[in-house]
Structure 1
């Protein structure tokens, strides 16, 4: 059994990595911030790194394909027992997210971590 420190907090599907690479051709330096609701629901938002100010209370979950992924500390408290999986589905991205206009959007799925960090269930979010 693994412990929570050895389990990556964020992963990406192959489709998400492909879309990240497509976006990076136009915007080489990007980051993700897991939205906590409001205007674009709870979608992972992709921004140019120099256009988004990471807050003092944001938590870095990790990186996917070299791109940092952040979440607010209050939302992290709710999701701290999950592993986030960034995926892609057909549709329009968030209004300010860089995938908007590409007819694909990022979607966060999650895997509930067991007491020892093992994945034990999958549920969709977003």
Structure 2
């Protein structure tokens, strides 16, 4: 089965560390400027998910949502959540760790697009 969102090993390690500190987590990619252009990590339930948000999948056992308008742009790609050094969004839980989550992507192959019915 094709996954719409995956995470690098480094991202999974950071997710596990954050879970040990904060408990269950959730992610949201809104796509706006500033903080919204990065995947944001919250304690599960801290952000109210709206009817226009799409559950893209799970990374590290945590749900990953994307705003519907962003999904329309990114639906033909697999999101790859990675980690880099630096400060992330001011409300995202990884900030104090000196790391930030980063979204990379790759275009689905024709076979994957068929499986996903795109």
Q: Verify same fold: TM over 0.5.
A: yes
1:38 aligns with 2:33: yes
Look up the match of 2:51: 56
Q: CA deviation at 1:35?
A: 2.8
For 1:29 and 1:63, locate their aligned partners in 2 and report how far apart those are by CA, in whole Å: 12
> 1:40/1:51 Cα in 2 relative to 1: closer, same or farther (>3 Å)?
same
How big is the alpha-carbon RMSD for the aligned residues of Structure 1 and Structure 2? 1.2
Deviation by residue 1:49-96 (Cα, 9 ceiling, x = unmatched):
121101111000100111000001111000000000000001011110
Residues 77 and 108 of structure 2 are in contact (CA less than 8 Å); yes or no, is this contact kept in structure 1?
yes
Determine which structure has the larger strand proportion and give its number. Answer: 1
Q: TM-score, normalised by structure 1?
A: 0.85
Structure 1 position 104 matched with structure 2 position 116: no
Gaps of 5+ in 1: 1-5, 119-126
Match of residue 9, structure 1, among 4, 8, 13:
4
Count, aligned residues: 113
